[in-house]
């Protein structure tokens, strides 16, 4: 099935992840092949959106303006590579805030699907963690796992029962074949 839209986790899928969070524009570094993969989806006419937990906001480690600057850099890098994002959806809450948008809850994916006008059964979510897979399942969206970021650890923990790819580029290659 060729999806009508693709939703992506950010840290560990598009860019390098950090246990200390990505707190500045200079810390945002794309993973090899990720920008070109998003460009391939754009050229194929598949809208792409980002769905990302950013608890550094709730922890007071980054301002809304700082996070927006990171997303401007990410968007500009994607556009320079020939891609386009249909949206960036952020959960700014912490793990104990009991919101419905922090993955593994499905709310963030629901927001993106509604904004894109994409039915859950026609969407694909690509992530690198158990919470990404759980959010997709909760939203009724097909999920794929990449081994970048936390993906290898997630795969090693077992029970993923989803297709697994080395990185976003490999996932997009499989999707577009």
Phi/psi for 73 (5° steps) reads -65, -45
Q: Is 54 helix (H, G, I), strand (E, B) or coil?
A: coil
Residue 158 burial (CB count, 10 A): 7
Residue 170 burial (CB count, 10 A): 17
Q: In terms of Cα–Cα distance, which of 94, 96, 95, 122 is closest to 109?
A: 122
Q: What is the longest distance spanned by two Cα atoms in the chain? A: 43
Cα distance between residue 59 and residue 54, in whole Å: 9
Q: Is 11 flagged in the annotation as binding? A: yes
Q: Is 4 flagged in the annotation as binding? A: no
Q: Is 19 flagged in the annotation as binding? A: no
Q: Is 99 flagged in the annotation as binding? A: yes
Is residue 134 among the annotated active site residues?
no
Q: Active-site residue among 11, 17, 132, 167?
A: 11
Q: Is 118 flagged in the annotation as binding? A: no
Q: Active-site residue among 9, 17, 132, 167?
A: 9
Residue 60 burial (CB count, 10 A): 8
Is residue 100 among the annotated active site residues?
no
Phi/psi for 51 (5° steps) reads -125, 110
Report whether 30 contacts 77 (CB < 8 A). Answer: yes
Q: What residue numbers does the annotated binding site cover?
A: 9, 11, 91, 93, 99, 101, 128
Q: What residue numbers does the annotated binding site for Zn(2+) cover?
A: 91, 93, 99, 101
Active site members = 9, 11
Q: What residue numbers does the annotated binding site for Mg(2+) cover?
A: 9, 11, 128
């Amino acid at each position: 099935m060729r999806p009508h839209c693709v939703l992506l986790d950010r840290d560990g899928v598009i860019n390098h992840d950090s246990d200390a969070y990505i707190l500045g524009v200079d810390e945002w570094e794309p993973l090899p092949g990720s920008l070109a993969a998003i460009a391939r989806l754009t050229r194929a006419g598949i809208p792409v959106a980002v769905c990302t937990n950013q608890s550094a906001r709730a922890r007071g480690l980054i301002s809304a303006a700082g996070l927006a600057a990171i997303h401007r850099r990410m968007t500009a890098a994607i556009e320079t590579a020939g891609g386009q994002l249909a949206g960036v959806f952020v959960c700014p809450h912490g793990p104990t805030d009991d919101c419905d948008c922090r993955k593994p809850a499905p709310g963030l994916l629901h927001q993106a699907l509604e904004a894109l006008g994409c039915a859950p059964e026609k969407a694909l979510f690509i992530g690198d963690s158990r919470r990404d897979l759980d959010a997709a399942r909760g939203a009724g969206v097909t999920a794929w796992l990449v081994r970048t970021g936390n993906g290898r650890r997630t795969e090693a923990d077992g029970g993923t029962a989803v297709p697994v790819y080395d990185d976003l580029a490999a996932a997009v290659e499989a999707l577009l074949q």
